[in-house]
Amino acid sequence: MRVVLAWLFGFVSCCGLVSAAQTDNIAIVVSESADAYMQVAERLRVRFDLDNPERARFITIPAQALDGKNAEALANYQLVVSVGVRAATLINNFELRVPVLHTLVPRVAYEPLLVAKPAAGKNISAVFIDQPVSRQLELVRLVTPQVIRVGALLGNDTAIISRALEQAAKPLGLQVEIETLKSPEELPSSLKRVFARSDALLALPDAQVYNQSTLQGILLNAYRSGQPVFGFSAAQVKAGALAAVYSTPEQIGNHAAEVLLKAGEGNKWTLPAAQYSRYFNVAVNREVSRSLNLQIDEDIVLHEKLKRAAKGE
């Protein structure tokens, strides 16, 4: 999952962890100090303060600092925000009675947290890092209208979304051809089968399938098969995927801030249901499009079309 987050892309303040007695103190727990996590935390704080500068005081805490003693101190905050899978998993192990907003986590990593603690579900929400499959498939339709059969390689993390893929494809007139990997060793044979049954490949954030060791091989096989690959990050497009729709860390932070602004309108924090970011970018590899003899709209045009389609999600 860490590799996936790297593709999908200083501390705000690191104060004493036990100084949380003031009203509406919010703890932001970051998985690590990498740029992506810091950008989410910084943008969340700045965006929130622009609209409601007196409402909250933000404290940023590295996940590794949360030993048993400091974990208890989180209960003194009015709300906790996690950034990244490591922080979300760690916080889920704590017995907190305060609302928790998870950010920069894929949906497939968030849902097991609810299963582990179903009673806490009403106090937990998320802003996902990945995109709704309907948005990804809409990009396939816009970029390659001639494509009918869309291949998908699913691993352990993404196998649970096979039904969602099929349901999202039907209204768009697409057919999803799914191959599920039980182990990394099955990748070559599964890749061969999926290319034989599809006209394009949709990549989904699953580190068992898409990682630094496998990406170039998948892209090379796609090129030899004459099939476009639709990625889930700008880095994949740069590496040779035809196109991708993705949200940046700043966009995730911006959306998370808006969630908190709405959630804090009353006397207590009331979080909404988990959701995908309404903010996203589109990237197209123009060299790949030329090699496939495809005439594709400019990125900004595709973005506007996807925004219009997203209103119906």
pLDDT on residue 11: 40
Q: How does residue 24 score in pLDDT terms, banded at 50, 70 and 90?
A: confident
Please provide the average confidence, as pLDDT, over all residues in the chain.
89
Q: What is the pLDDT of residue 187?
A: 95
pLDDT surpassing 70 at residue 3: no
Note the residue count of the chain: 313
Transcribe 20-79 into DSSP letters: --STTEEEEEES-SSHHHHHHHHHHHHHHHHH-TTT-EEEEEEGGG--HHHHHHGGGSSE
Q: What is the pLDDT of residue 310?
A: 78
Residue 18, pLDDT score: 37
First to last CA, the chain: 26
How far is residue 187's CA from residue 155's CA, in Å, rounded to a whole number? 10
Query: Which residues share a beta bridge with 58?
Result: 26
pLDDT score recorded for residue 23: 52
**Which residues, other chains included, contact 16 with Cβ-Cβ below 8 Å and sequence gap of 6+?**
none
Contact 180, 193 (CB under 8 A): no
pLDDT higher than threshold 90 for residue 1: no
Which residues, in sequence order, are CB contacts of 229 under 8 Å at separation 6+? 200, 201, 203, 218, 219, 222, 236, 240, 241, 242
DSSP annotation of 100 reads E
Residue type, 121: G
H/E run at residue 111 = helix 107-116
pLDDT at 312 over 60: no
Lowest mean pLDDT among 69-73, 182-186, 282-286: 69-73
d(CA 67, CA 148): 52
CA–CA dist 271, 290 (Å, integer): 46
Answer whether residue 224 shows pLDDT above 50: yes
Residue with tokens 């992506």: 36
Judged against a pLDDT cut of 50, whether residue 284 lies above it is answered with yes
Instruction: Output phi, psi for 57, to 5 deg.
Output: -115, 120
Contacts of 161 (CB under 8 A, 6+ apart): 107, 108, 133, 154, 204
Residue 301 has pLDDT above 80, yes or no: yes
H/E element, 126: strand 124-128
pLDDT at site 70: 73
Q: Tokens at residue 258, please? A: 């808006």
Residue 10 has pLDDT above 60, yes or no: no
Its pTM surpasses 0.85:
yes
Q: How far is 100 from 88, CA to CA, in rounded Å?
A: 9
* E-state strands within 145-287: 149-154, 175-180, 200-202, 229-231, 243-246, 275-276, 281-284
